[in-house]
Structure 1
Amino acid sequence: MQARLLLEDGTLFTGLSFGAEGQSAGEVVFNTGITGYQEVLSDPSYCGQIVTMTYPLIGNYGITRDDFEAVRPYIHGFVVRRHEPAPSNWRAEYTLDNLLKEYGILGISDIDTRMLTRKLRHYGTMKGMLTTGNERIEELAERLNMTTLMRDQVARTSTKGVFSSPGDRERIVLVDFGAKSGILRELTKRGCDVVVVPHDTTAEQIRRLKPDGIQLSNGPGDPKDVPYAVKMIQELLGEYPIFGICLGHQLFALACGADTAKLKFGHRGGNHPVKELASGRCYITSQNHGYTVLEDSVNGTKLEVTHINNNDKTIEGLKHSVHPAFSVQYHPEAAPGPFDSSYLFDQFLDMIRTHKRNNPQKPRQAQLAASLRGELQYAQK
């Protein structure tokens, strides 16, 4: 069956359909990963986007449930040069085509993905529409022009309730803005007692969970679309150690007075070089984001730049000069990509332990007794 991809500038790509049938619109972006298409498909940060894979052969090792980064994929379309319908992999449980059909996601193959990528690099990401129908181009263009890109991706991808992954070490509250499973996996691997909370959880609700530290997850969209999260971070900054990843990094920056802006075509792939300024060492990182913290906006805040992107010199890491808090723009949990930066989770736990040593708390029984005494005094008045 024929499928077509129409861009907002009028460019039309005609190829073959795989996955679901129908029509879908979204922001067209590209990912430079050679492998890891399943993790890309299931990364909530792609919610509302039509993803183009620059590597030409996709689907050759199938789909395995163990490799999902979320309970389901949230992308609005998948674009490849060649779709392999018959995977060869002993772990494969079903095909890429099966996965897309299961979740109603359109796919298109046999188009010039190199041309599409060059166009996105030159002009920037743009709206696009995928269709398997026979509509006239003028009709498709009119529908696309009337389409507004979604702004509520965080609410769509975040957990709707609180759940825990018990451990016997530090309690970490993971604020889910569209978190990848890899973050929870890295924390639980270190024995952490992780409590995952929705994106709109308030500072007071987090305090009630008695955390040792707060993990701000990755997520889709513009960080300025979730101002309530910025407020929550501002209230808890200095009270608990904080570690932000990707969208969490941008929200942390906004909470500290910095600003963010949209990149021309973003960073998406598993081979982005990042320089750690303190050591001069270069790490190869996994990235997926369309926004960045503006360098000039950091001046005058209490933030310090810790990492930069070696390709375009954008900010890739920040730390607070007073409070125990830091963040990175890339994905230390990888999946897909290199695990060079997984040490950051250990750094986070070290920060928590140092903070607890420097700020010893009264035993909870003593805290409760003091609270009760205060209530009795209030009642006697």
Structure 2
Amino acid sequence: MILLIDHYDSFTYNIYQAIAELGEDVEVVRYGQLSLDAIREKNPEAIILSPGPGHPRDVPESIELIRALHRDVPILGICLGQQLLGEAFGGRVTEAPVIRHGKVSELSHNGTDLFAGLKERVPVMRYHSLAIEKASMPDCFDVQAEALDDGTVMAIKHKEYPVYGLQFHPESIGTPEGTDMMARFVELARASRVHMQQADHE
């Protein structure tokens, strides 16, 4: 089961639908409805942190979740979710260079992980006014993609754990390769989960 944390955002159902159409069992839980222990008891294969309004500091339980579970459960943060990852590991989330609401940007990426097999320049849909400040990007993250029009960090990956962030909306029709990216996350999460469980038994 993949657990989707809904930060009270209208895009959450679209993410649910996109993951479910991949044949995955998805459970949506509203932010604040489950304790950390209750989430642990559900033993999800992966966690997706949805977009949402406001600043990451407005949803501190999700920051706590990231810090507590990132070693044990693969995580994908989308939009606000990526900002939460930055905040959880000591980065600063500030106003983006340009506010992007319903705007498509092309990004350049490193061709690995969620971007494996994709063309060099990929159009993506953006809905955000905040972003992780590049200068304060935590050392534990690799920047995997940047917007070509304004240089905003568009994707990150933890250097040690299967923790990924996307500042754009992969579920949007404005991100044509978004379904492929989410399928790659599910594939990578499943492989990582098996590895994590084997390590626990050694």
TM-score, structure 2 length as denominator?
0.87
Q: Secondary structure at the match of 1:342?
A: helix
Matched, 1:329 2:162: no
In structure 2, distance between residues paired with 1:338 and 1:260: 23
Report the counterpart of residue 302 of structure 1 in structure 2.
Answer: 140
> Aligned residue for 1:316?
154
Q: Which moved more, 1:272-281 or 1:222-231?
A: 272-281
Relative CO higher for 1 or 2, CA cutoff 8 Å, sep ≥ 6? 2
Q: Please show how residues 1-381 of structure 1 align to structure 2 within 5 Å.
A: 171-179=1-9, 180=11, 181-200=13-32, 201-263=34-96, 265-278=98-111, 281-299=120-138, 301-335=139-173, 337-360=174-197
Mean Cα displacement is larger for which, 269-278 or 283-292? Answer: 269-278
Counterparts of 2:155 and 2:98 in 1: how far apart (Å)?
Answer: 20
- Paired letter, 2:154: E
Cα RMSD (Å) = 1.7
Identity of aligned residues (%): 28
Amino acid at match of 2:58: D
**1:226, distance to aligned residue in structure 2 (A):** 1.7
Counterpart of 2:50, as a letter, is S
Mark the CA change 1:314 to 1:265 in structure 2 (over 3 Å): closer, same or farther. Answer: closer
SS in 2 for 1:192: coil
Q: Tell me, yes or no, if the aligned pair for 1:256 and 1:303 is still in contact at 8 Å.
A: no
Q: Secondary structure at the match of 2:53?
A: coil
Normalised by the size of structure 1, how large is the TM-score? 0.47
Aligned residues: 189
1:35 maps to what in 2?
A: none
Contact kept, 8 Å, 1:285 with 1:330, in 2: the verdict is yes
Q: CA deviation at 1:322?
A: 0.4
SS of residue paired to 1:359: helix
CA apart distance, 1:178: 2.7
Shift of 1:270: 4.1
Distance change >3 Å, CA 313–CA 264, structure 1 → 2: closer
Q: Gaps spanning 5+ residues in structure 2: where?
A: 113-118
CA distance in 2, matches of 1:359, 1:229: 22
C-alpha distance in 2 between matches for 1:350 and 1:286: 23
Secondary structure at 1:355 match in 2: helix
Deviation at 1:339, TM superposition (A): 2.0
Amino acid in structure 2 at the alignment position of 1:244: G
Q: In 1, Cα distance between the equivalents of 2:29 and 2:178? A: 25
CA shift, 1:354, in A, is 1.2
Question: Cα distance, 1:245 vs. partner?
Answer: 0.5
Cα distance in 1 for residues equivalent to 2:162 and 2:175 = 26
Structure 1, unpaired ranges of 5+ = 1-170, 362-381
Amino acid at match of 1:235: A
